[in-house]
Amino acid sequence: MKKHILKYIIVFPLLVSSVSCDFLDVVPDNVATIENAFSDKYNAEKFLATCYSYLPVFSDPWINPGLLSGDEVWFNEEVSGGWVHAALIAQGYQNSRTPYLNYWDGQERGTRMFVGIRDCNIFLENINYVADLSAIEKKKWAAEVKFLKAYYHFWLLKCYGPIPIIDENLPVYASTSEIKTYREPVDEVFKFIIETLDEAIPDLPLAVQSETSDLGRITKPIALSIKARVLATAASPLYNGNTDFSSLVDNRGIALFNPTYDQNKWQLAADAAKEAIDICEKAQIKLYDDFKSKNVHSDTIMLELKLRSIVTEKGSPEVIWAATNYTFSNGYQRMLQPLLINVTNANPVSQFYASTLRMAELYYSKNGVPIEEDKEYDYSNRYKMRTAITEDNDYVKSGQATAILHFDREARFYANIAFDRGTYVLDPTYYYVQVRAGELATKRNQGEFSATGYFVKKFINPNNAFSGNSYFSNYDFPFPIIRLADVYLLYAEALNEVKDAPDEEVYRYIDMVRERAGLKGVVESWNAHSSNPDKPKSKAGMRDIIHHERAIELAFEGARFWDLRRWKLAEKYMNKPIQGWNISGRNLDFYKVVTIFTPQFEFKDYFWPIKEEELIKNPNLVQNLGW
């Protein structure tokens, strides 16, 4: 089987509730209900579905911080109001009174993660009592829930840093002092997460046995790949030897961050990533490289369509774990899709999910190196105009002028971002984007316009289509949580940090990702085209290349938001202006760079605040620094 997709057909309501004296109180108040929940296989499976139901809604940009709380995309001012919580975080409105996307207690559109952990514990405490469930099924179901329990702790750790470890639920006779939980040091939390994953992995299957009944259940490739991500996070500068958080100490006098750097954490991450890669190969998970077109296209267009299909193709063999509790549906795709035809009625698309200029500049040149390093690229004049000729027609409409920035770029740029006068293929039809004031892809209705003049093309399947006044996005797809290219790059990153200097094994796994994108290997590309040809030969240089490669390959998938944090680079990027083109400009006046918003990312923003009310209820919970 090649599909490893998160889905439970029915999400059931909570079967139990907790005493209301404290949010982290995990004492069930209805033992009879719990006993009934595990009276037979049917009811136990409903409780299993409940354990799955706390997973974040990865595909929803409104509430997935990875999609809209960083610097990759920007909503226009008419849709970035109080209900777009992820965008409010990007704009610097996170606060301790009513924190946005509050996963600690499930408010402000956050998922109730601690309740999810509690229900996982209830499941694990009772699954062996189910009489009509085989021993093999009990082990497998328990392993799935152990994974979920570990993952919920990991999500909370990414958001808040040190968190309470809820390994067992408190008994009904627990004292008030026992209920008032402490946050544990981040090293202890990571240790607990890895130990819990290690308990789960042996009893998980290599793949789901039946797509009809088991699609979405956790498998070995999922668990091992997430383990690699957890260990890479633990080894990264935000958590490994971070002296900036030395003053975060609880009322027991326990420091919650270890200021001592540990090189071995990268070795553990490398070992885990290689184990994940090996198990993925056994499960026939591989890089996507086979798009079937309805038409005969040039090699250039075929490469772009293939790259657009990596995550949008249902059953993509590259996707290890994807979320279908809410698919990336017609409604979401309408936000990304520029209007490409004349219509007489209401706008069939919303077109307000805009790539930032920063992301447009991030992609490599056609030579596979950053445009500011490419000796042949006219970087200093990138905002000036150039007229496309016939040879440019696969990417830019022949005879039309657009910014030099839009020429001579790598294929992933054209596959991921739509720009003014750019070619846009909805197989088999060719369109050309027109974004200047008064044209097709400019504002038609309130809120329906790109704030930057760019659109995210990556999540538009080539098989979508326009017809009359309608836009058909019949290719809804499960949003990727982790895919094989991500694990390859994690492995290359960890190996690079372990070694004194990068070697062929480091190059191999980043070069496989680059080769799929139509690029030469790192060493060859830098040697031939970069103003810094020796960059791939040093650890620091290769680190920068790997960071850059992750930002390109995983763009708009939610990785950059968390990567910039774990690398302690968010302050560098999230304090730079969010820029785009002058969307009110007609003709060539469009091509003036304008600042849309200037975000402010402070040191405190690396970890979100615990709600003030929770600190009053439990004085043992020390607040994160700066809040």
> What number of other Cβ atoms are within 10 A of residue 430's Cβ?
16
Give residue 126's Cα distance to chain centre: 33
Tell me what pLDDT residue 345 has: 65
Tell me what pLDDT residue 469 has: 73
Q: Is 3 helix (H, G, I), strand (E, B) or coil?
A: coil
Angle of CA points 202, 206, 207, to nearest 5°: 135
Angle of CA points 316, 318, 322, to nearest 5°: 70
Tell me what pLDDT residue 344 has: 67
Helices marked H in 161-263: 176-179, 186-200, 220-235
Place of tokens 């809040």: 627
Which phi and psi (to 5°) does residue 567 adopt? -85, -5
Query: What is the rounded CA–CA span in Å between residue 68 and residue 586?
Result: 29
Query: What is the rounded CA–CA span in Å between residue 117 and residue 145?
Result: 9
Question: Is 340 a domain residue?
Answer: yes
Hey, what are 481's tokens?
């949580």
Domain count, the chain: 1
- What global pTM score does this model have? 0.94
Question: Is there a cis peptide before residue 428, judged by omega within 30 degrees of 0?
Answer: yes
What are the 10-residue block averages of pLDDT along the chain, 627 residues in total? Answer: 33 32 40 81 94 93 93 89 85 96 94 95 96 97 98 98 95 75 97 98 93 79 98 98 96 97 98 98 96 89 96 93 79 89 76 95 98 98 98 97 98 98 94 96 89 97 83 79 98 98 98 98 98 98 98 98 98 96 96 96 97 95 97
Tell me what pLDDT residue 175 has: 75
Place of tokens 């929770």: 614
Query: What is the rounded CA–CA span in Å between residue 627 and residue 624?
Result: 6
Question: Is 416 a domain residue?
Answer: yes
Tell me what pLDDT residue 314 has: 86
Contact 535, 526 (CB under 8 A): yes
Question: Is 235 a domain residue?
Answer: no
Nearest to 73 by CA among 599, 426, 606: 599
Tell me what pLDDT residue 20 has: 29
Question: Is 420 a domain residue?
Answer: yes
Tell me what pLDDT residue 79 has: 82
The residue type found at 217 is R
| Separation of first and last alpha carbons in the chain | 47
Question: Is 46 a domain residue?
Answer: no
Query: What is the rounded CA–CA span in Å between residue 85 and residue 236?
Result: 27
Q: Is 243 helix (H, G, I), strand (E, B) or coil?
A: helix
Q: What is the span of the domain harbouring residue 426?
A: 313-478
Question: Is 366 a domain residue?
Answer: yes
* Cα Rg, the chain, nearest whole Å: 25
Question: Is 586 a domain residue?
Answer: no
Nearest to 215 by CA among 322, 373, 139: 322
Place of tokens 């290719």: 475
Tell me what pLDDT residue 620 has: 96
Q: Is 518 left (phi over 0), alpha (psi -120 to 50) or beta?
A: left
DSSP string of 469-501, one letter each residue: TEEE----EEEEEEEHHHHHHHHHHHHHHHSSS
Question: Is 355 a domain residue?
Answer: yes
DSSP string of 86-143, one letter each residue: HHHHHTT---SSS-TTBTTTTBTT---HHHHHHHHHHHHHHGGG-TTS-HHHHHHHHH
Query: What is the rounded CA–CA span in Å between residue 260 and residue 593?
Result: 44
DSSP state of 184: P
